[in-house]
Structure 1
Amino acid sequence: MKKAVLVTGASSGIGAATAIEFSKNGYFVYLMARNKDRLEEVALKCRSGASLVACDMTDMKALDKRINEMLTAKIHRIETIVNNAGIFARHSTEEGSDELWQTQFNINMLAPVHLTRAFFPYFKTQGGGQIVNVSSTLGLRPQGPTSAYSAVKAAMVNWTASLAIEGGPFKIRANCVCPGIVDTPIHHFHSLEAEQKNAVIDKMKSLQPLGRIGQPEDIAKAIYFLGSEQSSWVTGVSLPVDGGINLL
């Protein structure tokens, strides 16, 4: 049975790069996101095969249906799930509404918890599995008016440690990647005109000891390491992949 990985938020950015990275290494990829057209574009780049799982992860009934389809198909052995889907918001505690906080929690935390909880019995039955959560350096050290996002991403870091403890006896590993500033659609500068975008990125370079912002592929390689047998004796880790920005 061919090994497989499930990547959420796989239609662009870090998720798309992660799907392609796993595929390069022989994994069949389940691509989960809302935009089916963009998923199809990513699937064409997955040389080891891919299946589209078009789903709004905040719709729990739809999510449960998709999960059940994957877990009962028995076509591939799903060895890894990557909880990457998320949204970013820049608001202070005072400015952020209850709705904003609830949305941040639902998408960035509750949906990954729901998905992971569903896969735990599956991983136990097959004798192990890998969970990789995508948090943020803001979950390690908040900066600026990002209180809701930072708080939820910090919760993901803590949850990862809990998962590692709970899953250890069943050979279920859980690790977390904490990206810094990466050129993906989650950031406003990603879609600016070229001249404006380059100006913003040039300013950001000064914040990075390594002198550049990240690319999705930088994060994808770290996710692959933690989600594959390359890291077979690693669990409970929250790994910053940030060009050293948290050192300053």
Structure 2
Amino acid sequence: MNHLHAVEAGAPTAGLRIRGLSHRYGLTEVLAGIDLDLAPGETLALIGPSGCGKSTLLHLVAGLLVPSEGTLANGFRRIGCMFQQPRLLPWKSTLDNIALGLKARGEARADRRERAAAMARWLGLTDEDMAKFPHALSGGMQSRVALGRALVVAPDLLLLDEPFSALDVGLKAELYGLLRARVAEVGSAVLMITHDLMEAVRLADRILMMAPGPGRLVRSFTLSQPQAVRSEAWIYRTAGELMEAEEVRLGFGLADARPANGWPAAAGGR
């Protein structure tokens, strides 16, 4: 077996191209044979049960891990990340947490604080909020700060690892709207992980279903309706239709066993 890998960060090819990617932790294979493309401006959602390697795949794309096998060519230059937990630096104020990526890029202090303040106000944070430290912020406000930190760098690739899963319905709806508006304005590509099928239908252009043992892609669904014109009725109806797909039902524990002949290869969907 060939255990060589190639990672091409900042490759000249536009977008993200993954071929034959596998990854192991020690002797445990967590991902196998991943082929994936993400075009500039596209939103792609990864769904699947816990333990199927979704977060590992996201960390490989972010450059936090090196794949055991396969090729990963990433032509995106500016990557923003938002995780399930806000992961704010406790010794920094709201404003400095939002400005963290700008500081890492070497922007002058006055410039980055001005941009961070504009982002904070756009997210509904006040001047008083900007001076607070994370322990003084509610969970919802911490999520706003984490979203601002990811968006303020104007990413051409935004990585989302279930950042909205713990939020109430009203705040989710508000952050969904803010996210969609900024992604459309900047033209960002988005690679997102979610357990929420309706969230995937609401935000994504394509949905990839993953299965465990080891993690692999088993079904692809393309959503034909543009995000801007998706009604609530269409979102609920489409999510319901996707739940009828065998791979989705198996993945979410709504069927008793995997197919007798094993998981099929990923294929085009609706």
**Structure showing greater Rg:** 2
Task: Provide TM-score, normalisation by structure 2.
Answer: 0.31
Greater fraction of residues in strand: 2
Task: Provide TM-score, normalisation by structure 1.
Answer: 0.33
Greater fraction of residues in helix: 1
* Bigger relative contact order (CA 8 A; separation at least 6): 2
